[in-house]
């Protein structure tokens, strides 16, 4: 299950209750947390597609504590291209 970033979920991460911190490339603030299951990964891809990303890559970094930080990198779709 994906938990959006808020005070409660941040506290759970700080206490070690959540295994994965979710961040978006180029944004230092976490966007949420999850347990790191295959279902969580599938849900992240679904959310990225719903938000207009053509592809979403998840870069996983293993921490010394055994927990992970997943960086979500989406490409394509969305506004940001130049229009002349």
**pLDDT tens string 18-73:** 999 999 999 989 999 999 999 999 999 999 889 888 888 999 999 999 999 999 99
Cβ atoms of 7 and 33 within 8 Å: the answer is: no
Better pLDDT: 82 or 64:
64
Question: Residue 15 is part of a domain; what is its CATH number?
Answer: 3.90.1070
Residues contacting 17, CB < 8 A, separation 6+: none
Better pLDDT: 81 or 21:
21
Angstrom CA distances, 43 to 19, 40, 57, stand at: 16, 5, 13
pLDDT surpassing 60 at residue 2: yes
pTM: 0.84
Q: Number of folded domains in the chain?
A: 1
Range of the domain at 64: 3-75
Nearest to 47 by CA among 61, 60, 58: 58
Residue 10 lies in a domain: yes
Which sign does the torsion angle of CA 38, 6, 80, 28 carry?
negative
Pair of tokens at residue 25 = 């490339």
């Amino acid at each position: 299950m994906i938990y959006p970033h808020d005070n409660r979920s941040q506290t759970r991460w700080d206490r070690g209750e959540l295994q994965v911190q979710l961040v978006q490339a180029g944004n230092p603030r976490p966007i949420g947390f999850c347990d790191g299951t295959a279902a969580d990964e599938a849900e992240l891809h679904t959310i990225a597609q719903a938000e207009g990303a053509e592809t979403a890559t998840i870069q996983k970094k293993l921490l010394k504590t055994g927990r992970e930080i997943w960086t979500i990198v989406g490409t394509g779709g969305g506004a940001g291209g130049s229009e002349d």
